[in-house]
Chains A and B, each alone.
Chain A
Amino acid sequence: MPGRARNVSLRQRRRKEALIGYLFVAPAFVGFLIFYLLPTVRAVGISLTDWNLMRAPKFVGLGNYATLLSDGNFWHSAKVTLAYVLYNIPLQTVLGLLLAVLSDRLARAVWLRATIIAPYLISNVVAALVWMMMLDPILGLVNAFLTFFGVSPQGFLASPDQAMVSVAAISTWRHTGLTALLFYAGLQAIPGYLYEAARLEGAGEWTMFRRITLPLLRPVLAFVVVTSLIGSFQVFDVVAVATAGGPSNSTRVILWYIYENAFKFNRMGYASAISVVLFATLILVTLLQMRVLRADQSDLD
């Protein structure tokens, strides 16, 4: 009897705890429901229609998806976006890691970390605007510097060959600080005795970095790479402000193409179809990454 009573009270307590747990999750969940899930479901619905915003939508089934497969502009935008991701992610991750390790091993000053994170505190639009002016081929500061040092002026955002790299550089400039900060936090979780032990064994900085820091940083690394990859696929504001998809379509990334279709060409159905495809692709990529990086495990256990 007493055993059973204890069981009941345990179950009751569990239920109560679960209730409290749900209550804690509720605000986030409601937000997710209203601002993410609902619009996503609605976008899937719109993607099955032909809708120009001004008239009632017309159901076209999978017509938009069929159009998409043979739309050269869509594939071009996918290619351009991929190029952006390939410029952006490695650069941002390596630089962030480097900054984090340096500020962890060499200088632990708060002001240094504050400086590193500063660009992230500026909004993308402002960052893009400032860089657009600084990178202006004729009137910009950067070319004035280059000319001073005898380098011929560059087109940067106005040149089809350099525009995507320039956009990636602006994003990297803005995001590296955050990446570095996340890595820095991850580094604090690695126990110091591991380094001490390694040093006693005569390991150098590079070996310690490769054998201790990198493996133990894996969960953070996974988080950083996954989130920044998703963010990179969704690059929009810098493009919208600094290049508007140009010159000669060289920065017409997927989100810009979606925007053009939705609000310039008034093809809301088609724009939604592209969004859905992007969404599905990102889920797949993310699952794959989590698997490859074993994001849910730590080597510290």
Chain B
Amino acid sequence: MKEYLMGKRHLTGVLATATALTTLGSSFAWAEDVTLNYAMWDANQAPVYRQCADKFEAENPGIKINIKQDSWDNYWTTLSTSFVAGTAPDVFVNHLSRFPEFLANGVMDDLTDRIAADKVEMKAYLPGLAESWNKDDRQYGLPKDWDTIALIYNKKMVADAGISEEELKNLTWNPKDGGSLEKIVARLSVDQNGKRGDETGFDKSKVSVYGWATNTVDGYGQTQWSFLAVSDGFKPIDKPWGKQYGYDSPALAETLTWIRDLALKKGFALSQEQTGRLNATAIFAAGKAAIVPDGSWNISSYRDTSKAEFGFAPLPQGPDGRRSMFNGLSDSIWSGSQHKDEAWKWVKYLGGSECQTIVGKSGVVFPARPEAAKAAEEAHKAKGLDVSAFVQLATPETTFPFPISDRASEISAILTTAIENVLLGKGDPATILKEANDQANGML
């Protein structure tokens, strides 16, 4: 009996696989409907885009949308291999870090002529978003959403430390004395005897709450250090699609030195060696840190995991102003798709006001259209969250683009190691950074 059952289950598995294969090979002659495969990596967003897909299917009889979601790491592996296997999704969510590589390999369809023919208004998107998916006046994706960075703070800890929310909203920072940010971070750090970081007798080896914690660092420092370094004049790369990384700049070295000392010398921040692979969200949720810088795509994670009340404050004002990395995703069409016309309809719908407003209202992400982003802001407000700290920074003056270049993944690995080494205190920051920068530029 048991064997019979197992056999049956096995058979069901085979049938399911066969069905899946049939769906994948979407171009069978007898299929009347066209099924478009749409791939994305964010599990939070998949159900929301399903709502868009349902509306789209109702308006476009004959086209079915099949959403495939995979985790960030697997997503890119699967995507690359499926390009060569000829099984890639017709439409996929694209990230700027992959843009150069995908362009060089001709896997994205050029949308320029379709945009012109259908008179799609590119100015309807927040400035900077459409442009970043443009190369030599050819457009390879329609803007989907954007993200900025802000500070997430624990309201109770801030109140207990006697810091007003007004102070938090007007933080200043510089790499010499750390500005008001360092004073506040010191005040928020508490050791096991209850002594605060700005009081005499603070024991930096027995800290129970850190004023500052970030995710483990990487080469771009989107949520960890880039906003400080750029507000001090650091320029990650000479221009989009540049050939010269600027990681040998003194501004970066002094910023990272300040971050390193904040943890290793002063004990106000969680050091690299104390930051495991559980990210800042977990550390914040556990009440181990008072302020954590993080990206707008994580708003809902904080809402779902943090038991303590929290708020968002804008990034501190550095010598060169407030600066957040501004990264935007797009929807691109696979150049090998058998249904490019249908795929274009879907991409146009995804980039249109109707779908982006649906996405905005769900609050999972800030859509690329200002009116839809407004809907997101209001959706958060309705749930008691003021997200203006993220929104107010989404201007060309207060942002800088994600650095794009060829061989991005290899260069990112080199830069990540260098920055880890600096923050671990493994030598002179300027020397380590110069060496990595030369290595990176040598690859271009």
**B-contacting residues of A (Cβ < 8 Å)?**
52-55, 132-133, 135-140, 152-153, 155-160, 242-244, 246-249, 260, 263-266
B272-290 contact mask (Cβ, 8 Å, vs A): 1 or 0:
1111111000110010100
Task: Assess whether B424 is in contact with A160, with CB atoms less than 8 Å apart.
Answer: yes
Task: Assess whether A152 is in contact with B424, with CB atoms less than 8 Å apart.
Answer: no
6 closest A-B pairs by beta carbon, nearest first, are A54-B105, A155-B273, A136-B276, A137-B274, A248-B420, A263-B77
User: Per a CB cutoff under 8 Å, which of A157, A263, A265 touches B276?
Assistant: A157
B401-444 contact mask (Cβ, 8 Å, vs A): 1 or 0:
00000010110010011001100101000000000000000000
Task: Assess whether A155 is in contact with B83, with CB atoms less than 8 Å apart.
Answer: no
- Known A-B contacts A159-B273, A263-B77, A266-B101; A247 and B420 likewise in contact (beta carbons under 8 Å): yes
Task: Assess whether B424 is in contact with A139, with CB atoms less than 8 Å apart.
Answer: no
Chain A contacts of B81 at CB under 8 A? 53
Residue B80 is within 8 A (CB to CB) of chain A in the complex? yes
Task: Assess whether A247 is in contact with B413, with CB atoms less than 8 Å apart.
Answer: no
8 A Cβ contacts from B149-205 to A = 205
Task: Assess whether B276 is in contact with A53, with CB atoms less than 8 Å apart.
Answer: no
Task: Assess whether A155 is in contact with B101, with CB atoms less than 8 Å apart.
Answer: no
Assign chain B's interface to a size class: 20 to 34
A248 to B409 alpha-carbon distance, docked (Å): 16
A243 to B420 alpha-carbon distance, docked (Å): 13
Task: Assess whether B276 is in contact with A139, with CB atoms less than 8 Å apart.
Answer: yes
* Cβ-Cβ contact count across A and B, 8 Å cutoff: 91
Task: Assess whether B413 is in contact with A260, with CB atoms less than 8 Å apart.
Answer: yes
Task: Assess whether A138 is in contact with B276, with CB atoms less than 8 Å apart.
Answer: yes
**Contact sample, A vs B, 21 pairs, CB 8 Å cutoff:** A52-B105, A53-B80, A53-B84, A54-B80, A54-B83, A136-B276, A137-B274, A138-B274, A138-B276, A138-B283, A139-B286, A158-B272, A158-B273, A158-B277, A160-B420, A242-B277, A246-B417, A248-B417, A263-B76, A265-B407, A266-B80
Interface centre among A55, A152, A242 (most CB of B within 10 A): A55
For B210, the closest partner residue in chain A by CB is A138
Residue B270 is within 8 A (CB to CB) of chain A in the complex? yes
Residue B107 is within 8 A (CB to CB) of chain A in the complex? yes
Task: Assess whether B205 is in contact with A248, with CB atoms less than 8 Å apart.
Answer: no
Chain A contacts of B274 at CB under 8 A? 137-138, 153, 155, 158
User: Per a CB cutoff under 8 Å, which of A136, A155, A264 touches B278?
Assistant: A136
**A-contacting residues of B (Cβ < 8 Å)?**
76-77, 80-81, 83-84, 101-102, 105, 107, 205, 216, 270, 272-278, 282-283, 286, 288, 407, 409-410, 413, 416-417, 420-421, 424, 426
Min distance, Cβ A248 to any Cβ of chain B, angstroms: 4
Task: Assess whether A157 is in contact with B277, with CB atoms less than 8 Å apart.
Answer: yes
Interface majority SS (helix, strand, loop, mixed), chain A: loop
A132 to B278 alpha-carbon distance, docked (Å): 9
Interface centre among A54, A135, A155 (most CB of B within 10 A): A54
A248 to B272 alpha-carbon distance, docked (Å): 10
- Known A-B contacts A152-B205, A264-B413; A139 and B278 likewise in contact (beta carbons under 8 Å): yes
For A161, the closest partner residue in chain B by CB is B273
Task: Assess whether B288 is in contact with A263, with CB atoms less than 8 Å apart.
Answer: no
Min distance, Cβ B417 to any Cβ of chain A, angstroms: 5
Min distance, Cβ B435 to any Cβ of chain A, angstroms: 12
A265 to B409 alpha-carbon distance, docked (Å): 6
Task: Assess whether A137 is in contact with B273, with CB atoms less than 8 Å apart.
Answer: yes
Chain A contacts of B276 at CB under 8 A? 132, 135-140, 156-158
Chain B contacts of A152 at CB under 8 A? 205
Min distance, Cβ A17 to any Cβ of chain B, angstroms: 31
A157 to B273 alpha-carbon distance, docked (Å): 9
A155 to B278 alpha-carbon distance, docked (Å): 13
Chain A contacts of B205 at CB under 8 A? 152
Task: Assess whether B273 is in contact with A54, with CB atoms less than 8 Å apart.
Answer: no
Chain B contacts of A158 at CB under 8 A? 216, 272-277
For B421, the closest partner residue in chain A by CB is A248
Chain A contacts of B288 at CB under 8 A? 138-139
Chain A contacts of B107 at CB under 8 A? 54
Chain A contacts of B77 at CB under 8 A? 263
Chain B contacts of A160 at CB under 8 A? 273, 420, 424, 426
Chain A contacts of B416 at CB under 8 A? 246
For A55, the closest partner residue in chain B by CB is B105
Chain B contacts of A138 at CB under 8 A? 270, 274-276, 283, 286, 288
A156 to B288 alpha-carbon distance, docked (Å): 18
Task: Assess whether A246 is in contact with B420, with CB atoms less than 8 Å apart.
Answer: yes
For B83, the closest partner residue in chain A by CB is A54
A246 to B426 alpha-carbon distance, docked (Å): 14
Chain A contacts of B277 at CB under 8 A? 132, 136, 157-158, 242-244
A140 to B282 alpha-carbon distance, docked (Å): 11
Task: Assess whether A248 is in contact with B426, with CB atoms less than 8 Å apart.
Answer: yes
Min distance, Cβ A184 to any Cβ of chain B, angstroms: 30
Task: Assess whether A54 is in contact with B410, with CB atoms less than 8 Å apart.
Answer: no
- Known A-B contacts A263-B77, A265-B409; A139 and B283 likewise in contact (beta carbons under 8 Å): yes
User: Per a CB cutoff under 8 Å, which of B216, B409, B424 touches A264?
Assistant: B409
Min distance, Cβ B250 to any Cβ of chain A, angstroms: 23
Chain B contacts of A244 at CB under 8 A? 277
